[in-house]
Structure 1
Amino acid sequence: MKQNYTIMGAILLMVIAFVMAVYLYNSQQAETQTQLVTQNAEALSKPYSPRKGNPEAKVTIVEFLDPACETCRQFHPLVKELLATYRGKVNLVIRYAPLHPGSDQMVKILQAAKKQGKFWEVLDLMFETQPYWASHHQPKPEVFWTYLERFGFDVVQLRQDMKDPEIDRIVKQDIADGQLLGATKTPTFFVNGKPLSRFGYEQLKSLVASEVNANY
């Protein structure tokens, strides 16, 4: 019996040590990202970045996303919910982080859609249909084009707009800015320049609430 208690005690100590290690790792990551933002504040957003919500809002969520990222898809309605909850007080800025092979074509479609004033509609459609064109993290842009046609988007104009060299420059700039800010996974969020202390929706929700309370 004594030996069992000793084993259980050792296991408990290992669990505590693991939890502490994860906590310290997350804290160090958040601290590192905070330093990166301080050093590269201009990399958070650009004039061309898609923005949703009141442009004069005092709280800004910056999201680095990949359209082929399943977690980004899960967060998409949750972020929209935060914008609705704090309508007029919070806005959202989207930056591109095409980490999956082939995702660069998807973000080019998004940026081309922005030229037509259809960015948010196409982003919604991408996430709604993601299981069909990006199963197992393998984007197939040609499959998504069929959805664009089906839902009545001007695919001829989109294909033409995608050839604009400015879109390539924008995607490369977003990737470079993401690297400067330590956005090595998607989605990565910053709220008024502050990274999440630990990744998760509750952490995002809490940080947004804290910034709203501090600014209004």
Structure 2
Amino acid sequence: MGTTGGKKRLRNLNALVAVLVAVIAVLLGSMLINRGGESSTEAAESSAEQPRNSPLDSPARREPDDPMAMGRTDAPVVLVAYEDFRCPFCAKYATEVAPELKKRYVETGVLRIEWRDFPVFGPQSDRAAKAGRAAARQGAFWRFHDVVYSHAPRRGKPELPPAKLIDYAEQAGISDIERFKADMQDPAVDRAIRRDVAEGTRIGVSATPTFLVNGEPIMGAQPLSTFVSTIEQARQEAR
């Protein structure tokens, strides 16, 4: 009987230990769950406090007499383009995307496009920017723009010596070439270019082409679909 009683007591003790272990496990699990829930809540609150990415403030000027802009001054969407006449990706945008944007959005009053000079490829880029400004003074900026980019090579950057810029001005229909050459040397033209560069640098432009659609950036020569989706989104938000 002693042996039987000892076995019985041992079974009872084992059962008690098992119960205690189960209770402790439940209590520990509950504590961990509660702590985990608190951590998740704190993380969610911390995440909610983080600022969301948002578009930049649009640098659109909407100047009614701007010869380097196209489209209505009160258009709901403004695309500001930082470009260099020697930039091959700017040429790709200008010849493949811009004409479609003009037809779809500029001519229907939805979009305004504003050019900004951002010469990044040395003295020839600076000279071409001055030529564009000189063409603008005779109301021929966009014609000059189209001629320059239509002659861009398939690869690499074009050479734009003074003689070639004068030839492009003539192709753009600029009749007063002497005035064109004089305007290229006007210090006011250089100051206007520097103003564009300073504006772009201030908002973080570092390469061409860079576009801002109502402040929403588009980097590089993206496909037409990227511009369309961004313009449509900006159009909806402007309503």
TM range (shorter): 0.7 to 0.9
Determine which of 130, 137, 141 is the counterpart of 2:157. 137
> Structure 2: any 5+ residue segments left out of the alignment?
1-52
SS in 2 for 1:61: strand
SS in 1 for 2:159: coil
Determine which of 116, 120, 128 is the counterpart of 1:99. 120
Pairwise CA RMSD: 2.5
Change in CA separation of 1:160 and 1:198 when aligned onto 2, cut-off 3 Å: closer
**What do residues 103-157 of structure 1 show as CA deviations (whole Å, max 9, x unaligned)?**
010010111111111111111111012229xx73253232232333355423211
> Structure 1: any 5+ residue segments left out of the alignment?
1-30
Q: Partner of 2:235 in structure 1?
A: 212
Q: Partner of 1:75 in structure 2?
A: 93
Change in CA separation of 1:151 and 1:57 when aligned onto 2, cut-off 3 Å: closer
Cα distance between partner residues in 1 of 2:117 and 2:77: 20
1:22-171 matches, cutoff 5 A: 31=53, 34=55, 37-38=56-57, 43-45=59-61, 47=63, 50-77=68-95, 78-86=97-105, 87-101=108-122, 102-131=124-153, 136-137=156-157, 139-142=159-162, 143-149=164-170, 152-153=173-174, 154-171=176-193
SS in 2 for 1:196: strand
CA contact 2:84–2:117 (8 Å) conserved in 1: yes
**What do residues 61-84 of structure 1 show as CA deviations (whole Å, max 9, x unaligned)?**
000001111111111131231121
Q: Partner of 2:30 in structure 1?
A: none
SS in 2 for 1:130: coil
Between structure 1 and structure 2, the one with the greater Rg is 2
Change in CA separation of 1:115 and 1:174 when aligned onto 2, cut-off 3 Å: same
Matched-pair identity in %? 27
Q: How many residues align?
A: 178
CA contact 2:77–2:238 (8 Å) conserved in 1: yes
Compare 99-108 and 146-155 and name the one that shifted more: 146-155
Higher RCO (Cα < 8 Å, 6 or more apart): 1
**What do residues 162-192 of structure 1 show as CA deviations (whole Å, max 9, x unaligned)?**
2222101101111111111111111101001
